[in-house]
Structure 1
Amino acid sequence: MSKKIVHATEEIVQPIVEELSLELVEVEFVKEGKNHFLRVYVDKDGGVDIEDCEKVSEKLSEKLDEEDPIEQAYYLEVSSPGVERKLKKKEDFTKFTGSHIFVKTYEPIDGEKEFYGDLKDFVNDEVILIVKIKTREKEIVIPYEKVANAHIAVSFS
């Protein structure tokens, strides 16, 4: 059910974000306690501000009222993906080359399933990370299909 809602919402919101020169990062429909939340994450170069989120929220709310794809009551939230933005699509890995990221894999690579490192490149459906192990750097190649989740990682170094 929630996948159908997410898909329907993506189709409704995509033209809205394109019209506003924004990028649709993610849509999620989740139940937290007794409440359902429809969360839409948008971004643009330089980041989104509250006005961007308000515009998307207003236009999307109107369209959702018209098309009514969600039967139950829910709260609509439109926001930035935040500083630790998820990397969901292949294009995200290309866009954020050079960034410090966290990657968790479905199965171990070199005996590990979690990696923090600098995203060197994304080529041939492979994430290439430079990870620091004590005082040396090592290149780790992670096939895209083995990535369980990934996000920008805040670095305090």
Structure 2
Amino acid sequence: MADWFTADDEAALERAHAAFPELPVENEDLAGMLLDVAREQVLTFADDDEPAVQVSDLLYNLGVEDAVVTAVITLLDFEATEPGVPTRYVYAQVLQAKNLWFAGKGEDGPDGFTFSPRPLSKDIQRIIRPTSGVADVY
């Protein structure tokens, strides 16, 4: 498991800069905004309550009754044993922060300044939600 990149203090900013050398560390507010927006975008795309949702979906797909699924989720106590942030989410945060930074720099073109917004690319989406390579028959 990993920790999100932030610009909360000098050590956190140095850690983020080491992972993303182009990060504008001279402007802590901007660096913090880039990292926060990237984290929010990753979390929005990611599955909510990932372990509980995956186990629930698996049991429902196997035809297990609702009461049994609820009991299993309660017994596993996902809330109390929160596993932390998956490493792939943190890596996706850095990649998305890079996309946002380079898009925000813009370009001077024939029609003036242009801005290219960057949604989560397909590559970043695959990092957040990796495919198993197994055919889905449902």
Range of TM-score over shorter length: under 0.3
Larger Rg: 2
Structure showing the higher strand proportion among its residues:
1
Specify which structure has the bigger relative contact order, considering alpha-carbon pairs within 8 angstroms and separated by 6 or more residues: 2
The normalised TM-score by structure 1 is 0.21
Structure showing the higher helix proportion among its residues:
2
The normalised TM-score by structure 2 is 0.23
